[in-house]
């Protein structure tokens, strides 16, 4: 490697490393802003004496994929970890555990999601739709719920 290329490589590597350090520092400071007064968030390996209520926050579908007929819905939970653990014994785990029940267009059935990943639905016909997302405990008791309404746009007929 000649000297000019090596110098450029070292400059770029330094900038990347500096950016990564700034990002980690920023994330650490964000965590501290929401942590307890000592500066730490509760450890998920230690039972909590008291827990605030679990809460579900569901975003509207991402607009760009929706324009193509793909529904991508992001969500987050507060005071509950989404994991595929079920049954009455899991009610005693702290911090609390749960999963989602997802119902599309008021169907009489729902599906369970415990992935912690965004919800993705495709292949819906054009028109209005509703996605009901329910936060459930390990025994399937609903704790919180949120619904999002959206419309799949009419797509022009493809020419072959």
Cβ atoms of 63 and 69 within 8 Å: the answer is no
**C-alpha R_g of the chain:** 22
Q: Determine the average pLDDT of the residues in 15-39.
A: 44
Domain with CATH 2.60.40 in the chain: 55-152
Which CATH number applies to 55-152: 3.40.50, 2.60.40, 1.10.3470, 1.10.287? 2.60.40
Residue 121 has pLDDT above 80, yes or no: yes
Q: Is the pTM of this model over 0.85?
A: no
Q: Distance between CA 19 and CA 117 in Å, rounded?
A: 27
Q: Is 79 left (phi over 0), alpha (psi -120 to 50) or beta?
A: left
pLDDT mean across residues, the chain: 80
Q: Whose CA is closest to 94, among 37, 145, 140, 54?
A: 54
């Amino acid at each position: 490697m000649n000297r000019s290329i090596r110098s450029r490589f070292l400059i770029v590597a330094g900038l990347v490393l500096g950016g990564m350090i700034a990002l980690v520092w920023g994330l650490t400071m964000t965590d501290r802003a929401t942590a307890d007064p000592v500066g730490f968030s509760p450890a998920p390996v230690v039972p909590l004496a008291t827990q605030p209520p679990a809460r579900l926050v569901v975003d509207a579908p991402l607009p760009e994929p929706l324009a193509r007929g793909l529904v991508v819905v992001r969500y987050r939970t507060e005071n509950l970890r989404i994991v595929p653990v079920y049954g009455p014994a899991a009610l005693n785990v702290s911090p609390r555990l749960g999963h989602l029940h997802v119902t599309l267009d008021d169907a009489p059935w729902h599906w369970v999601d415990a992935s912690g990943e965004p919800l993705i639905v495709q292949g819906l016909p054009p028109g209005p739709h509703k996605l009901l997302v329910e936060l459930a405990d390990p025994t399937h008791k609903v704790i919180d719920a949120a619904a999002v309404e959206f419309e799949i746009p009419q797509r022009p007929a493809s020419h072959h």
